Amino acid sequence: MVMRTWDKMLRESVRRTPEQEKNMTATFTVGEKEIMQEDMKQLTKNYYDALKRIKELVEKVEELKNEVESLKEDKVELRSIRGH
């Protein structure tokens, strides 16, 4: 008996007949297709808006971290001036 490779076994396990492939395809009316296209357009816009907002927030976090570090340095300078 010849041993089959895992790759070959995987390929055989997911092989489909042309009839199965045909049954897996969706058919849409023109209206449904337009609705899906508009939804995808809106989702894409929202995705890029979210990316921009995330970038803004990351920049704000960095800005605040720098401000905190600056305040810590000022506190150290103030302590040394006071003699603590």
Domain that holds residue 57: 6-82
User: Does residue 31 lie in a domain region?
Assistant: yes
- Is 1 inside any structural domain? no
20 occurs within a structural domain: yes
pLDDT over 70 (residue 54): yes
Q: Which residues 6+ apart lie within 8 Å of 12 measured at CB?
A: 4
What total of structural domains would you count in the chain?
1
Share of the chain above pLDDT 70, in %: 85
- Mean per-residue pLDDT, 45-50: 96
For residue 49, being part of any structural domain is answered with: yes
- What is the band of 82 on the pLDDT scale with cuts at 50, 70, 90? low
pLDDT average, residue stretch 31-36: 90
- Whether 32 has a pLDDT exceeding 70, the answer reads yes
Dist. CA 81–CA 84, nearest whole Å: 8
pLDDT of residue 1: 44
pLDDT > 70? residue 8: yes
**Residue 44, Cβ density class (10 Å: 0-12 exposed, 13-18 middle, ≥19 buried):** exposed
